[in-house]
Amino acid sequence: MTRPGSYFCGSNDHGLSRRGFLGATAAGAATFAADTRLDGFKSQVLAEELKKQNKNVILLWLAGGASQFETFDPKPGRPTGGPFRAIPTSSTGVHISELMPKVAARMQHTAIIRSLYTKVTDHGGGATLMETGRRPAPGFSYPDIGAVVARELGRIDSQVPDYVSMYTSTEGRRKGTSGFLGARYSPMFLAENMVPENIRRLDAISDVDHHDRAALRDVLAKKFNQTHKSSTVASQTTAYQRVRGIMASEKLFDIEQEPEAMRQKYGPLQFGQQCLIARRLIEAGVPFVKVARAWWDSHGQNFETHRELCADLDQAMSALLDDLDERGLLKNTLVITLGEFGRTPNINASLGRDHFANAWSCSLSGCGIRGGVAYGKTDEDGHNVAEGQVQAGDLFATILSALGIDPESEYYLGSRPLPLADFGSKAVKEVLA
């Protein structure tokens, strides 16, 4: 009889056996492991340390693809530059579009990457690439950044959701995916309402009965759980035990609980309000919140579109940075602005800019980030990256590094090792604190 060995190269280089791994992380999901080049115990300790630090991410998703020219990489006076000026920022020598004056004044918190080179220029493909940091492979479903962060920074028994995604526009709506990490790390998705589904107790049952009924469930489940030791069996009771905590987090979605002055800072629009909810969520320990703002896809009237959308972004993002900073949360919270791609240097006949992924921008603020830096350069007219090319995987690695997560640590897909950031990716050290 043969014993199951490792799957790929016939050696046991991958360290922990599947069994050993299952034992080491009985509470976690099973097919993927923390970096098994460390021994199981050590990686557990590291992971727990990380979780204690309460690091969080707020992703401001610019759905449809924002123009780098009208945001972080202006080219005033060039044929591709459009009508808007560049203005100085609080970081000497760094200029951004005049459409973002408030963010400019807070540039000390923010690093800009101006040299994204990601090539994919359809909305779906671009979004998948930027969300997962890699190109899709048939037969595999990769988790997006929210699911990865939820898994790495969330607590298994957390009383709050660990990945919340708000996407209330109809254009380009995407639910987000936990891929092979499984349903445990799927986002709580808010599409129709500002409050998640099934979070509120029905009037038909009293609060006491709702609580006691769940307790009776656990009593009746106990013997089965004790005689069936598996992380899958345990996950069901864990899920039920999280229900009351998640229900208690309903108030986090209620911005009426914020002072009027605070709500005004974030602005009257839904995007601003959702940013405020995002702050409330991460303050309560939610590791990853995505707020999507649509629809930046300015094939026509690019400048009018950006005049409007950038004003919203500028207000909400600057309010968010101030608010996080004042609460002492910014050092542990990474704020990302990113979309599926940027927009063409060429201005088309409808005064629009089309899809473009060869030289575009994003920003990273707060946790683990060296503020005031503009990394990478595009050429004079913004057609190509001139310096410091950054691919999707590199950005993924940079985000993970900023959070203290080793981008080279590996998940195991059955037996196949898969690094958290795509093979060969490198974090952009210049933007890391």
Partner 1 sequence: MPRSVALCCVLTVILSAPLRAAELQPVDQPIEQVIDYYVDAFIKADEVTTAPQANDATVLRRLTLDLAGRIPTSKETQDYVASESASKRVELVDRLLASPDFAFHHRNELEEILLPERRNDGEFRKYLLWAAEQNRRWDDMYRDMLTGNEEDEYQKAALQFVRTRIRDVDDLTNATSVAFFGVNVSCAKCHDHPLVEDWKQDHFYGLQSFLSRTYVTKKNVVLEKPFGEVKYTTREGVEKQAKFMFLTGANVQIASLELSGDDKKKLEEAIRKTQQDDNAPIPEQQGDSVRQKLVDVSLREGDNRFFAQNIANRIWQRMLGRGLVDPVDQIHSGNPASHPDLLQWLARDLVTHGYDLKRLIRGIAMSQTYSRTSEWTSAAETPSPEYFALATARPLNPRQYALSLLVASRNPSHWDQEAFQQADRWRQERENFENASNGWAGNFEAPTDGFQIAVDEALLFSNSDRIQNDLLRDSGDRLIGQIKAIEDDQTAISTAFLAINSRQPTDEESAAIREYLAARADKRPEALRQAIWALLTGPELRFNH
240 lines the binding site for partner 1 (CB under 8 A): yes
Task: In whole angstroms, give the CA distance from residue 4 to residue 107.
Answer: 55
User: Of the candidates 171, 197, 304, 308, which one interacts with partner 1 according to CB under 8 A?
Assistant: 197
Q: Rule CB under 8 A: is residue 184 a binding residue for partner 1?
A: yes
Distance CA 288, CA 276 (A): 14
Residues 100-119 that bind partner 1 (CB under 8 A): none
Non-local CB neighbours of 354 within 8 Å, separated by 6+ positions:
299, 343, 344, 346, 348
Task: Give the integer Cα–Cα distance in Å for 223 and 219.
Answer: 8
> Which of residues 287 and 352 has its CB atom nearest to partner 1 in the complex?
287
Instruction: Note whether 426 binds partner 1 by CB under 8 A.
Output: no
Residue 192 binding partner 1, by CB under 8 A: no
Q: Give strand pairing partners of 365.
A: 110, 335
Applying CB under 8 A, among 91, 97, 235, 401 the residue interacting with partner 1 is 235
Q: CB 194: neighbour CB atoms within 10 A?
A: 14
Instruction: Name the DSSP class of 424.
Output: T
**Per CB under 8 A, 209 contacts partner 1:** yes
DSSP for residue 373: -
d(CA 291, CA 275): 7
Residue 125, SS3? helix
d(CA 62, CA 78): 25
User: Which residue, 276 or 400, is less far from partner 1 as judged by CB?
Assistant: 400
Question: How far is it, in rounded angstroms, from Cα 145 to Cα 176?
Answer: 9
Task: Assess 137 for contact with partner 1 (CB under 8 A).
Answer: yes
| Contact pattern from residue 342 through residue 381 relative to partner 1, giving x for each residue in contact according to CB under 8 A and a dash for the rest | ----------------------------------------
Residue 80 as a binder of partner 1 (CB under 8 A): the answer is no
In three-state secondary structure terms, 316 is helix
Listed ranges 65-73, 106-114, 204-212, 261-269: which one lies at the site for partner 1 (CB under 8 A): 204-212
- Min separation Cβ 15 and partner 1, Å: 14
Q: Which of 9, 77, 260, 328 binds partner 1 (CB under 8 A)?
A: 9
DSSP 3-state percent helix, strand, coil across the chain (nearest 5): 35, 15, 45
CB of 207 to partner 1, least distance (A): 12
Q: Cβ closer to partner 1: 93 or 414?
A: 414
Site string for partner 1, 141-170 (x = CB under 8 A): --------------------x---------
Report if residue 207 touches partner 1, rule: CB under 8 A: no
> Quick check: bond before 295 cis, omega within 30?
yes
Residue 183, CA distances (Å) to 141, 177, 249 in order: 12, 9, 20
- Separation between Cα atoms, residue 239 and residue 215, nearest integer Å: 13
Q: What is the largest CA-CA distance in the chain?
A: 75
Positions 18 through 47 that interact with partner 1 (CB under 8 A) = 19, 29-32
Q: Is 92 or 227 the residue whose CB approaches partner 1 more closely?
A: 227
Measured from the CB of residue 88, what is the shortest distance to partner 1 in angstroms?
Answer: 34
Taking the complex as a whole, the smallest distance from the CB of residue 380 to partner 1 amounts, in Å, to: 23
Residue 236 in the binding site for partner 1 (CB under 8 A) = yes
> 28 vs 368, which CB is nearer to partner 1?
28
| Contacts of partner 1 in 394-423 (CB under 8 A) | 414-416, 418, 422-423
Coil, helix or strand for 96?
A: strand
Applying CB under 8 A, what is the total number of residues that bind partner 1?
75
